[in-house]
């Protein structure tokens, strides 16, 4: 009996000693599948593949946070990329494919940077040109074309470029409409872009109007939202403008061709309001001073 127990114990010890060896003989891919979830390889440089749950979590988180702080361009970019599929970015890509100019853009894949546009040359153009209007707007607002985030979360490589193109053309839309980068101007331009592109991010951005001051909010609902909807719906697809080839063109001619009328000058309106408040404050102070005497 004792001999039998010793033999059984020896067999158990040998089996335990062989267990790591048996595990090591398993194919490495099979072993990894039990230790971490698999992720497909990226489709282009910088691409981060996400599953449906990950995209949903990023969309909700970035959307809520960007409503709290509309200045967070990184959050707005993330929300745009995680909500544009499976329909909206393909609709925009198809709009480009249906246009001869859009097809040229997709073929050439130009990028808008301070180097590709030759900003000193744009400053030398006549004031009525698209290029001079664009560079004047950049200089006035203190904006650079080199600050646009790279697309990361769109799986289709061509659609990723469409989103990148939309993102880099945003300042041209500002220059075309004259809207400044203050919150009121950004929300008005996003409303225009939503009516023209249907990208969900641009529609969500309109809700940031609730964070404006009462006077700004009233002006947005009464003046700039109707302008944005009217012009965004009737204008041609602005994604199909090959801006690099329009720089020497008369800006008013391009506006007429696209069907875009500039809205009332928001910077001038805000400046007049500040002047009125300053004068009212000075008048009230003068009345108070004379009364005390």
Q: Which residues are annotated as a binding site?
A: 170-171, 174, 186
Distance in angstroms (rounded) separating the CA atoms of residues 206 and 184: 10
At 281, phi and psi to the nearest 5?
Answer: -65, -40
Distance in angstroms (rounded) separating the CA atoms of residues 35 and 83: 30
Can you read off the two tokens belonging to residue 122?
A: 């744009």
Can you read off the two tokens belonging to residue 202?
A: 């641009």
**Distances 212 to 219, 225, 275 between C-alpha atoms, Å:** 10, 14, 20
The string of DSSP letters for 159-227 reads: HHHHHHHHHHHHHHHHHHHT--SSHHHHHHHHHHHHHHH--HHHHHHGGGGGGS-HHHHHHIIIIIHHH
Binding residues for Zn(2+): 170-171, 174, 186
At 84, phi and psi to the nearest 5?
Answer: -85, -10
Tally of residues, the chain: 293
SS3 152: coil
Alpha-carbon torsion (70, 74, 79, 84), positive or negative: positive
Can you read off the two tokens belonging to residue 231?
A: 């012009």
Where are the strands (E) in the chain, listed by range? none
Q: Are 140 and 197 in contact (CB under 8 A)?
A: no
């Amino acid at each position: 009996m004792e001999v039998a127990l010793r033999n059984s114990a020896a067999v158990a010890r040998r089996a335990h000693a062989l267990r790591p060896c048996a595990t090591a003989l398993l194919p490495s891919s099979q072993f990894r599948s039990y230790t971490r979830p698999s992720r497909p390889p990226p489709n282009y440089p910088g691409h981060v593949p996400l599953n449906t749950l990950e995209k949903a979590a990023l969309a909700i988180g970035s959307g809520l946070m960007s409503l709290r702080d509309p200045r967070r361009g990184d959050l707005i970019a993330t929300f745009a990329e995680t909500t544009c599929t499976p329909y909206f970015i393909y609709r925009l890509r198809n709009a480009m494919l249906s246009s001869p100019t859009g097809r040229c853009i997709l073929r050439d894949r130009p990028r808008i940077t301070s180097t590709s546009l030759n900003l000193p040359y744009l400053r030398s153009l006549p004031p009525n040109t698209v290029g001079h209007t664009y560079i004047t707007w950049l200089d006035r607002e203190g904006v650079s074309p080199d600050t646009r985030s790279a697309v990361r979360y769109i799986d289709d490589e061509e659609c990723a470029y469409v989103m990148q193109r939309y993102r880099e053309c945003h300042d041209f839309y500002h220059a075309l409409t004259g809207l400044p980068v203050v919150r009121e101007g950004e929300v008005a331009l996003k409303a225009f872009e939503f009516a023209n592109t249907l990208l969900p991010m641009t529609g969500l951005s309109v809700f940031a109007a609730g964070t404006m001051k009462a006077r700004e909010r009233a002006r947005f609902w009464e003046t700039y939202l109707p302008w944005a909807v009217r012009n965004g719906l009737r204008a041609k697809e602005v994604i199909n403008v090959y801006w690099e080839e329009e720089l020497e063109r008369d800006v008013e001619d391009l506006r007429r061709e696209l069907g875009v009328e500039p809205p009332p000058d928001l910077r001038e309106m805000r400046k007049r309001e500040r002047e009125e408040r300053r004068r009212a404050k000075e008048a009230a102070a003068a009345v108070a001073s004379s009364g005390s005497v």
